[in-house]
Amino acid sequence: AIQLTQSPSSLSASVGDRVTITCRASQGISSALAWYQQKPGKAPKLLIYDASNLESGVPSRFSGSGSGTDFTLTISSLQPEDFATYYCQQFNNFPLTFGGGTKVEIK
Amino acid sequence: QVQLVESGGGLVKPGGSLRLSCAASGFTFSDYDMSWIRQAPGKGLEWVSYISGSDSSINYADSVKGRFTISRDNAKNSLYLQMNSLRAEDTAVYYCAGSTVDSAFDIWGQGTMVTVSS
């Protein structure tokens, strides 16, 4: 199975900060990677698909990049509603796998 | 509006069975591949099972293979997960989620809680 390693596992940041989360795959997955945001008690929400495509309705401060084994989710200017846990997920091979998550907290 | 609604969760004893359902509305259900994804309390997301839109392809996580069975009824716009031989480690919120072919999960249900405990 393809393992996805997210870093950091948590971070503290202030409103307006630029935040970067990385996701490393144990083997190449081309661009078959998605990013999700999850708030407590809620279902995950798709932010980015195919590594760099912004899902409709998602603010443009979110962006994704990378291909192969190394991927990045960037929030250009953190907003109060962005404090949440973020997960990467690969859909290149079964079993589908998720990263361990990155919790973004208020500094 | 586009919606997935899960039902069927609850408390079950180890070794017991449960059948989850997921009702779809607001989109062409047969155009979507569907998966079940679970989240144990305080933990991350774990993919459980997948079924293609045409029902021609099915996959399972090793942790549930041989115990869980995924199915769908496109005429009823419904997805199912039959869970047998349940274990304490199956305790989780179970989400159904949909994706267009070979893509990310862009539609999610609100989740249903399954608790396996004596």
pLDDT digits (tens, 9 = 90+) for A42-55: 999 999 999 999 99
User: What local confidence, expressed as pLDDT, does residue A16 receive?
Assistant: 96
Q: Which of B47, B95, B103 sits opposite A95 (nearest CB)?
A: B47
Backbone CA torsion sign across B41, B92, B6, B117: negative
Predicted confidence (pLDDT) per residue in B17-63, tens digit: 999 999 999 999 999 999 999 999 999 999 999 999 998 999 999 99
Q: Which of B46, B102, B110 sits opposite A98 (nearest CB)?
A: B46
Which whole-number Å values give the CA distances from A48 to A35, A44, A63, A79, in the listed order?
5, 12, 7, 18
Position B101 confidence tier, pLDDT thresholds 50, 70, 90: confident
Tell me if A99 sits within 8 A of A1, measured CB to CB: no
User: What local confidence, expressed as pLDDT, does residue A106 receive?
Assistant: 87
Q: A14: distance to nearest CA of chain B, Å?
A: 24
Mean pLDDT on B3-25: 98
Q: A103: distance to nearest CA of chain B, Å?
A: 11
Scan for tokens 């509603």, then name that residue.
A81
